[in-house]
Chain A
């Protein structure tokens, strides 16, 4: 018996981007199917689990202790020599906030999609795209050894960092090694930590990235690392894990803990792509490289873009126009929300990855003394310029 079928909107991938898109497509009347290749949505986790709070309202997501493990009051940036720059929530403009249980968070979003009327299938992979008259018209899917075709008026590629669907469809999402950070993390139990702050360690402990210590509870933390791929040499096997293990070994407050989970992964840290849609298909989330290139955070952008994509997909279906031109409404929508910030943060990242430990130390020393009122890049650069003008040469074009 053939399992071939037809839907209005097919969402591939049930992470935050996929689930939010599916929810809003279904809510707006489109017959929506979301497929997920894993057998369990949300697992295994691939995330540092720190999110800001400010954007949740925009999405109508109500904070719930089922997926919030801890709330912090600020963040600290720590230089190689131990200079600490403290950013309170007020200063950071609501950009700090929750440490989440990402698996529960993803399942909550998938449940919302299902509650809005989207159908969900797990353990179901997309193995190729289907075309019809030059446009994307669905995917060939596989479920427990059976192969079948799912035809759709709109395909949503929310297949994460791998971003295969978009590339099969001819949208270039390939990344330069300098725009990829490779990650490894542990959830550590029985560690000594300050539960008020999420910590970011910068410098040669994590070349081109940082080590994070995100608080999950009074004695547990998500401790992880991102390392810029271009800084990993051929033959350096398992670099991300080795850098992280070396960092933890040097911090007795962390090395005393026990890992209850290990996670590997990678994130894009690139400029906004020129185009994330084609006839019949829109890319959302990591698949569309919508990650914040400075922090590597992607949950907020994925959800915000997903809402726009879901609404545009439903409108495209009801209007009978699922062309790339119609999908410009999605392009405009997500770009209005965070394209400028992505670009600015990519510029900042490109500078930061060039700094050596001595420079990080000097910069953090100045900022630690300054007692910042607000976090403002320009103000930060001016403060550093006053004491160490030579450090700011690289950034002069940003100050002007």
Chain B
């Protein structure tokens, strides 16, 4: 199984850092929540970019 990004919504500050950092434009900041879109390539840049630690990589090795 591939490692893919997940979000702990309790940590999310709805800032959009992950959206602008995503090279595929595969996240979207709805008014106060983040959506992962189907064109995500699981590159993990959003998890590194998230300033508050809401996004992390899960599964796989």
Answer whether A and B are interacting partners: yes
Q: Using CB atoms and an 8 Å cutoff, list the residues of chain A in contact with chain B.
A: 37-39, 44, 46, 123, 125, 160-164, 167-168, 174-175, 177, 180, 182-184, 229, 232-242, 262-266, 268, 286
Q: Name B15's contact: one of A39, A46, A167, A235 (CB within 8 Å).
A: A46
Is the Cβ of A234 less than 8 Å from the Cβ of B31? no
Q: How far, in whole Å, are A161 and B20 apart by their CA atoms in the complex?
A: 5
**A180-B21 CB under 8 A given contacts A262-B13, A263-B15, A264-B15:** yes
Query: What would be 7 A-B contacts, judged by CB atoms less than 8 Å apart?
Result: A37-B29, A125-B30, A161-B16, A162-B29, A229-B48, A238-B50, A238-B53
Q: Name A164's contact: one of B23, B28, B45 (CB within 8 Å).
A: B28
Chain B: minimal CB distance from A259 (Å): 13
Which 6 pairs between the two chains have the least Cβ-Cβ distance? A238-B53, A266-B17, A240-B51, A161-B20, A264-B15, A264-B51
Describe A's contact surface by its main secondary structure: mixed
Chain A residues with Cβ under 8 A from B16's Cβ? Answer: 46, 160-162, 265-266
Chain A: minimal CB distance from B31 (Å): 6
Q: How far, in whole Å, are A238 and B56 apart by their CA atoms in the complex?
A: 9
Q: Which of B1-48 contact A (CB under 8 A)?
A: 11, 13-17, 19-21, 23, 25, 28-31, 44-45, 47-48
Chain B: minimal CB distance from A284 (Å): 15
Q: Name A241's contact: one of B19, B30, B45, B53 (CB within 8 Å).
A: B53
Q: How far, in whole Å, are A167 and B17 apart by their CA atoms in the complex?
A: 16
Q: How far, in whole Å, are A164 and B37 apart by their CA atoms in the complex?
A: 13
Is the Cβ of A229 less than 8 Å from the Cβ of B15? no
Q: How far, in whole Å, are A174 and B47 apart by their CA atoms in the complex?
A: 17
Is the Cβ of A264 less than 8 Å from the Cβ of B13? yes
Is the Cβ of B31 less than 8 Å from the Cβ of A39? yes
Is the Cβ of B31 less than 8 Å from the Cβ of A266? no
Q: How far, in whole Å, are A39 and B31 apart by their CA atoms in the complex?
A: 8
Chain B residues with Cβ under 8 A from A175's Cβ? Answer: 20-21, 23
Is the Cβ of B51 less than 8 Å from the Cβ of A238? yes
Is the Cβ of A164 less than 8 Å from the Cβ of B31? no
User: Besides the contacts A44-B13, A174-B25, A238-B11, what 15 more A-B pairs have beta carbons closer than 8 Å?
Assistant: A39-B31, A123-B31, A125-B31, A160-B20, A161-B20, A162-B29, A167-B25, A184-B52, A229-B21, A232-B48, A234-B48, A265-B15, A265-B51, A266-B17, A286-B20
**A184-B20 CB under 8 A given contacts A37-B31, A265-B15:** no
* Closest partner residue, chain A, to B31 (CB atom): A37
Q: Using CB atoms and an 8 Å cutoff, list the residues of chain B in contact with chain A.
A: 11, 13-17, 19-21, 23, 25, 28-31, 44-45, 47-54, 56-57
Q: How far, in whole Å, are A46 and B13 apart by their CA atoms in the complex?
A: 10
Chain A: minimal CB distance from B57 (Å): 7
Q: How far, in whole Å, are A192 and B54 apart by their CA atoms in the complex?
A: 31
**A168-B25 CB under 8 A given contacts A232-B49, A236-B48, A264-B51:** yes
- Residue of B14, B30, B48 contacting most chain A CB atoms (<10 Å): B48
Chain B: minimal CB distance from A197 (Å): 26
Is the Cβ of A237 less than 8 Å from the Cβ of B53? yes
Chain B residues with Cβ under 8 A from A242's Cβ? Answer: 53
Q: How far, in whole Å, are A161 and B56 apart by their CA atoms in the complex?
A: 21
* Closest partner residue, chain B, to A164 (CB atom): B25
Chain A: minimal CB distance from B50 (Å): 7
Q: How far, in whole Å, are A164 and B22 apart by their CA atoms in the complex?
A: 10
- Residue of A125, A174, A234, A237 contacting most chain B CB atoms (<10 Å): A237
Q: Name B20's contact: one of A37, A168, A180, A235 (CB within 8 Å).
A: A180
**A174-B23 CB under 8 A given contacts A160-B16, A266-B16:** yes
Chain A: minimal CB distance from B30 (Å): 7
**A161-B17 CB under 8 A given contacts A180-B49, A241-B53:** yes
